[in-house]
Amino acid sequence: MTDPLDPERDHLVRSRTALARMRRHAEHLFTTGDQVAGDAYSSETLGRTLRQRVAELADDPRAPLFFGKLTFDTGEHAGNRYHVGRRHITDEAGDPLVLDWRAPLSRTFYQASARDPQGVAVRRRFGWAVGTSGATLSGFEDEHLDRGEELGTASRILTEEIERPRVGPMRDIVATIQPEQDVLVRAELDASIAVQGAPGTGKTAVGLHRAAYLLYAHRERLRRSKVLVLGPNRAFLRYIEAVLPALGEVDVAQSTVDELIARVEVRGTDTPAAAALKHDPRLAVILRRRLGQYVREPEDPLTVTDGSWRWRISVDALRRIVDDVRREDPPHALGRERVLARVISMLLRQAEAKRGDSPPETWQRRMARRPEVRAFLDHVWPAVTPEELVFAFLSDPSPAAGMLTEAEIATLAWAKPPRTAKAATWSAADAVLIDEAAGLIERLPSYGHIVIDEAQDLSPMQCRAIARRCEHGSFTLLGDLAQGTTPWASRDWADTVTHLGKPGTPVVPLTTGFRVPAAVVELANRLLPALDVAVPPARSLRRDGTLRLAPVTSLVEAAVDEARAALKQEGSVALIAADAAVPALAAAVEAAGLDAERVTVLPASLAKGLEYDHVIVAEPADIVAAEERGLHRLYVVLTRAVSRLVVVHTRPLPAVLAA
């Protein structure tokens, strides 16, 4: 009997050969590109595009070229079969061998169902065995939608994928995107969306696949305006950084909010009260008013000498100029340019009337440099940098008395103001204020789309910083109100999306959990009532997995023993503890000679967004006690486990957990 996989293996060989040909073609274009393009600029642009194309066509032997196949029996594709994979592959005649998963037709792969087969008779999912030398076809699973068969989440291939041991960085989920996720991934570019999802419901995965989808569907527009992915910290960004390149997208910026807004070096710290105040949206209004005070009404006419001529602009005319520009409300630096341009244009009109001809451009530039003109401009509309504005405010916040209490003014004011803005030691929260000031003074370029992960932790002021960079674009917000750990964490997405500049953005829930086993979800869910947020509970797809609560007498010893035992099984191991306990645990793990490649000793504050097969949580009571929102932190920590969670503790578990 012939093996039904044989024709699929043949198709794989043909696809691989075709991909190699496509890549050779792109490489050829790349090496000859500079001879084709005319000038240096277009040659560089073409070179970049072609280099990217070559990179996009890389054939990673561990990433199977296709994962699905659709056989159509009705509709416009009746009689056709299409393989679906990570990228388009065409044969020499240009006919498709593999459809990109983002192509319109591929949508059917994710959305067709027995109730609505969309012309599909059979949906086939391929199983792959991934070894060190690459991926080999190992089997397939068919759903005869035409006969009413549908596996849904009972698919063996889906189950194997979500239960596979997690080693290394995050992987793409193209082969198993679920219908509710697919709707979010393929939402229109102009549509901003907010996704509220419990831990492990695939928010990060959805955000990254949405970025890849949008880049495919709007390639030209987004190549220019760019897509940005924002994550909570570098460790998280490193964890997700391979996903987009694996999907052929090598040109997406990934950053933290702090990195995005970095204009000044952060060397200082704030008291918690001062930091919280600096993240308060009232500060945006205060800074705006403060900047407004730099603009002054003209008090004298302006007289400019020009060789033997003297030009004069009346106070009234000057006032009109300043008032008009103020009403137009441009960023401050642009306002200064406008005032200057209008003054010069009045001088020009006078000169034209007197001389009977129009002075050359150089005359206008010369007038703009006249000391009388500079002095006027510096008086009514002085240049100010973002750093200078914030420096002035923190040196003396008292003019904001109408909006701040006396205690708040005292909290904000520098105890010993530095002599100049350049000499200031800025804190992370100051950097946010400086960015706010920059947004008032200059125009910042807008991204085409921003994916904002772990968005529950953003302050209103950080949201405003993102909004400034998303003015002409859209965003995908991903988060979980229950995982908010910053002092300014959101309690309501309606507020967050308003600060992000797009009030009314719809909030879509994701509720199917792909990471955390049901028993662990049940434990973590006990914390939810104490977290003071309204979120829909999650349903775990995973029936496997284990949970053990282990009272012990020696914490470090027990934690190391657990880690040693965990190493006997496949997959990654994390030992998560309150930040202060990490050095001692790390030293003990090292002294015990455990495999540092596989065991991570992780401070609770860095656990967000990450996942490990086997998680050992040490002393929950300390994690809770370490910070104000310690219970939220514990909720994050408990939901990192993919297969096994062990909680070791010498002190009683927090009461809500023990319930």
- d(Cα 586, Cα 602) in Å, to the nearest integer? 9
Which residue stretches of 105-149 are H helix? 107-111
Longest CA pairwise span in the chain (Å): 105
Q: Is position 199 annotated in a ligand binding site?
A: yes
| Residue with Cβ nearer ligand ATP (33 or 200) | 200
Q: Is position 204 annotated in a ligand binding site?
A: yes
Dihedral, CA atoms, 495, 501, 506, 508, nearest 10 degrees?
-70
| Residue with Cβ nearer ligand ATP (33 or 620) | 620
Q: Is position 33 annotated in a ligand binding site?
A: no
Task: Give me the long-range contacts of 269-272 (CB less than 8 A, separation at least 24).
Answer: 269/427, 269/428, 270/427, 270/428, 270/429, 270/430, 271/411, 272/487
State the minimum distance, in angstroms, from the CB of residue 206 to ligand ATP.
7
Residues 619-643 as b or e (16 or more Cβ within 10 Å = b) = bbbbbbebbebbbbbbbbbbbbbbb
| Residue with Cβ nearer ligand ATP (82 or 239) | 239
State the minimum distance, in angstroms, from the CB of residue 262 to ligand ATP.
24
| Residue with Cβ nearer ligand ATP (167 or 410) | 167
State the minimum distance, in angstroms, from the CB of residue 638 to ligand ATP.
11
Q: Which residue is nearest to ligand ATP (CB)?
A: 202
In this structure, the number of other CB atoms found within 10 A of the CB of residue 338 comes to 17
Q: Is position 362 annotated in a ligand binding site?
A: no
| Residue with Cβ nearer ligand ATP (201 or 427) | 201
Q: Is position 496 annotated in a ligand binding site?
A: no
State the minimum distance, in angstroms, from the CB of residue 642 to ligand ATP.
7
Q: Is position 604 annotated in a ligand binding site?
A: no
- d(Cα 446, Cα 450) in Å, to the nearest integer? 10
Q: Exposed, middle or buried, 583 (CB in 10 Å: 0-12/13-18/19+)?
A: exposed
| Residue with Cβ nearer ligand ATP (462 or 639) | 639
Q: Is position 609 annotated in a ligand binding site?
A: no
| Residue with Cβ nearer ligand ATP (178 or 600) | 178
| Residue with Cβ nearer ligand ATP (177 or 322) | 177
User: Where in 377-493 does DSSP place strands (E)?
Assistant: 426-427, 449-452, 474-479
Extract the tokens encoding 504: 């009314």
- d(Cα 396, Cα 227) in Å, to the nearest integer? 39
- d(Cα 603, Cα 635) in Å, to the nearest integer? 14
State the minimum distance, in angstroms, from the CB of residue 236 to ligand ATP.
9
Extract the tokens encoding 330: 């441009």
CB 629 within 8 A of CB 600: no
State the minimum distance, in angstroms, from the CB of residue 565 to ligand ATP.
23
Q: Is position 203 annotated in a ligand binding site?
A: yes
- d(Cα 613, Cα 584) in Å, to the nearest integer? 23
State the minimum distance, in angstroms, from the CB of residue 204 to ligand ATP.
3
Interface positions with ligand ATP (CB under 6 A): 161-162, 173, 176-178, 181, 197, 199-205, 480, 514-515, 609, 611, 639
State the minimum distance, in angstroms, from the CB of residue 213 to ligand ATP.
14
Q: Which residues are annotated as a binding site?
A: 197-204
Q: Which residues are annotated as a binding site for ATP?
A: 197-204
